[in-house]
Chains A and B, each alone.
Chain A
Amino acid sequence: MSSSATIPFVSGSLGPEAGGHFQEFCTHPAFFLMRAYEECGELAEFDMGGINTVLMVGPEAHEAVFRVDDIKVSAPEAYQFMVPIFGKGIQYGAPLDIERQQLRMHARGLASEKMNHYAPIIAQETRDWIATWGDRGEMDFYEGFADLTIKTSTHCLLGTEFRNTLTEEFASLYHTLGAAADAEGLQDPNAQKAAYAARDNARSRLEELISNHVSQRRDSGEVYPDLLQVYMDTTYPDGRHLSTSEIAGMVVWFMFAGHHTSANTAAWALVELARNPDLAPAVIAEVDSVLSSSDDIELKTLRRMTKLEGFVRETLRVHPPLNTLTRRVVEDFEYKGHIIPKGKNVMLCPYVAHRLEACFEDAQRFNPDRPQPENPFALIPFGGGQRKCVGNAFAFLQVKVIFSELLNAFDFELAGPPGEYAEIMPSLILRPSEPCILRYRRRQ
């Protein structure tokens, strides 16, 4: 049985010679995948410029992909374009057993007991930021949050001494890496083009900066309670420590996974707060009640801030930052009687998944009081299963701490018409259109 005979093929392909659907996909991946779902339903096949890809939609389909063995339906095979960014020997550039060990190290640095160290750092960075605002004004909050979260991320990750010497160079190098994570890389991440040459130079210089920092710390003999220390101290099962190059790769990986995604989520959450003034008071009241009793928010308290939690979760439902979760089919993959043959890709799309009426009643409405779905495969802003983003709890922590400080001090409103804040995808990350300007006024 041929899969192509049974899985509907999305209309509008320019044909194999002209890249199939690739051009339309690159214009706006989330919108293209939404169109594919609306036209074809649960399974929709399209041509990603020579790689036929099956979009799979709905909790049942997601679960099938998240539960299948990585060796049969492979993430590393599909994400080789990330290898030049993170580095060889790291994540998808490492054998599966090594990658699992590296995930274990990330998990150790992001465990709940570590979060108690990160929360006050994020709060202080946010307070330092808002101390520069004055009583009222306007600001591009997409840029503002991108700047803030590079400070919070580096501070939690690399420690105070690195954060205090954070230079424009680090941000700029990191930006260069980000600019090279484009859809064209899905086809050929080593194509001869200026952005990829700049990427390789930036990766190399970042490794140098991070390696210097690691050497200084080793020489000092001091031990710090941050992620870097975890990377420096933990070992593979054979007792080997991460090499300096691997540590640099872990840092880039963490930054890459957590920086723009958190910044975008914070920006969207503030836009939604400003354009839904009737929803804001409940969140603000909760924040005020917590911050009136203590300056520093404990993790246990933060978890119980259900209004803020619901607001952030709903922001992630409506505006998920990552919208193309891809796997390469390495052994024929059966789903509901369809055989997806080896060599094709399967793709999940949170943007589409989160708009299913069967999972989210009145899905078009922004409703922060919406209960969390019981099915763990319905709401997938961080992916799912063993490949779920291990930074998911850190991301919630970060956005909740930032918002607690912001809402306790300022009121926010839109500076432009509500429709001006559009969902754009110049890269593989969904973000608000620029400029993303909001007005703020210090609360009385």
Chain B
Amino acid sequence: MSQYRIVVDEMLCQGHGVCTEECPEIFSVEDTGSGYPKVRLSTDRPSEDLLDKVRDAVTFCPNLTLKLVEVD
């Protein structure tokens, strides 16, 4: 079975929080204190039951900050 990893390009993140609404189990937004809030992950290896929600978070991020990549 394929494993997936979430990859974040933090520079693109402005903390809109769409990912948090779509999949709060994985994503949160942290106030960094010095600029935009930034996405944080509880894990970058989502379990299979969360994959659909993670895909929605990836799709609906307004800044294309997230990617879900297949790993061996």
Instruction: Tell me, yes or no, whether B46 is within 8 Å of chain A by CB.
Output: no
CB distance from B14 to the nearest CB of A (A): 5
What 1/0 mask marks residues of chain B from 22 to 60 whose CB sits below 8 Å from any chain A CB?
Answer: 100000010101111100000000000000000000001
20 A–B contacts, CB within 8 A, in A order: A66-B11, A100-B36, A101-B34, A103-B36, A104-B31, A104-B35, A104-B37, A107-B14, A107-B16, A108-B37, A112-B21, A237-B33, A300-B21, A376-B9, A376-B64, A385-B12, A388-B14, A392-B62, A392-B63, A396-B62
Chain B residues positioned under 8 Å from A300 (CB to CB): 21-22
Please list the residues of chain B having a beta carbon within 8 angstroms of any beta carbon in chain A.
9, 11-12, 14-18, 20-22, 29, 31, 33-37, 60, 62-65
The residue in chain A whose Cβ has the minimal distance to the Cβ of B13 is: A386
Cα A101 to Cα B31 in complex, Å, equals 11
Which 6 pairs between the two chains have the least Cβ-Cβ distance? A376-B64, A112-B17, A100-B35, A393-B62, A111-B17, A303-B60
CB distance from B46 to the nearest CB of A (A): 19
Instruction: Tell me, yes or no, whether A188 is within 8 Å of chain B by CB.
Output: no
Instruction: Select which of A67, A237, A299 is within 8 A of B11 by beta carbon.
Output: A67
Cα A372 to Cα B58 in complex, Å, equals 13
The residue in chain A whose Cβ has the minimal distance to the Cβ of B29 is: A111
Query: Is the Cβ of A385 less than 8 Å from the Cβ of B16?
Result: no
Instruction: Tell me, yes or no, whether A414 is within 8 Å of chain B by CB.
Output: no
Q: A-side binding surface: helix, strand, loop or mixed?
A: helix
CB distance from B29 to the nearest CB of A (A): 7
In chain A, residues 58-72, which have Cβ atoms closer than 8 Å to a Cβ of chain B? Answer: 66-67
CB distance from A34 to the nearest CB of B (A): 25
Query: Is the Cβ of B62 less than 8 Å from the Cβ of A110?
Result: no
CB distance from A68 to the nearest CB of B (A): 11
Instruction: Tell me, yes or no, whether A278 is within 8 Å of chain B by CB.
Output: no
Instruction: Tell me, yes or no, whether A97 is within 8 Å of chain B by CB.
Output: yes
CB distance from A268 to the nearest CB of B (A): 20
CB distance from A20 to the nearest CB of B (A): 34
CB distance from A118 to the nearest CB of B (A): 13
In chain A, residues 363-386, which have Cβ atoms closer than 8 Å to a Cβ of chain B? Answer: 372, 374, 376, 384-386
Instruction: Select which of A66, A111, A392 is within 8 A of B15 by beta carbon.
Output: A111
Chain A residues positioned under 8 Å from B9 (CB to CB): 376
Chain A residues positioned under 8 Å from B35 (CB to CB): 100-101, 103-104, 386
Cα A255 to Cα B36 in complex, Å, equals 20
Query: Is the Cβ of A393 less than 8 Å from the Cβ of B11?
Result: no
Please list the residues of chain A having a beta carbon within 8 angstroms of any beta carbon in chain B.
66-67, 97, 100-101, 103-104, 107-108, 110-113, 237, 299-300, 303, 372, 374, 376, 384-386, 388, 390, 392-393, 396
Query: Is the Cβ of A112 less than 8 Å from the Cβ of B16?
Result: yes
Query: Is the Cβ of B11 less than 8 Å from the Cβ of A386?
Result: yes
Chain B residues positioned under 8 Å from A388 (CB to CB): 12, 14, 63
Query: Is the Cβ of B20 less than 8 Å from the Cβ of A112?
Result: yes
Query: Is the Cβ of B15 less than 8 Å from the Cβ of A107?
Result: yes
Query: Is the Cβ of A376 less than 8 Å from the Cβ of B63?
Result: yes
Cα A299 to Cα B17 in complex, Å, equals 12
Instruction: Select which of A299, A384, A390 is within 8 A of B21 by beta carbon.
Output: A299
Q: Most chain-A CB neighbours within 10 Å: which of B21, B62, B65?
A: B62
Chain A residues positioned under 8 Å from B15 (CB to CB): 107, 111
**Contact of A113 with B12 at beta-carbon distance under 8 Å, contacts A108-B37, A392-B63 already known:** no
Query: Is the Cβ of A113 less than 8 Å from the Cβ of B36?
Result: no
Query: Is the Cβ of B37 less than 8 Å from the Cβ of A393?
Result: no
CB distance from B22 to the nearest CB of A (A): 8
The residue in chain B whose Cβ has the minimal distance to the Cβ of A379 is: B64
Cα A390 to Cα B62 in complex, Å, equals 10
The residue in chain B whose Cβ has the minimal distance to the Cβ of A309 is: B60
Cα A67 to Cα B65 in complex, Å, equals 14
Chain B residues positioned under 8 Å from A237 (CB to CB): 33-34
Chain A residues positioned under 8 Å from B22 (CB to CB): 300
Chain B residues positioned under 8 Å from A101 (CB to CB): 34-35
CB distance from B69 to the nearest CB of A (A): 12
Chain B residues positioned under 8 Å from A66 (CB to CB): 11
CB distance from B27 to the nearest CB of A (A): 11
Cα A390 to Cα B13 in complex, Å, equals 10
Chain B residues positioned under 8 Å from A113 (CB to CB): 17, 21
Chain A residues positioned under 8 Å from B12 (CB to CB): 376, 384-385, 388
The residue in chain B whose Cβ has the minimal distance to the Cβ of A378 is: B64
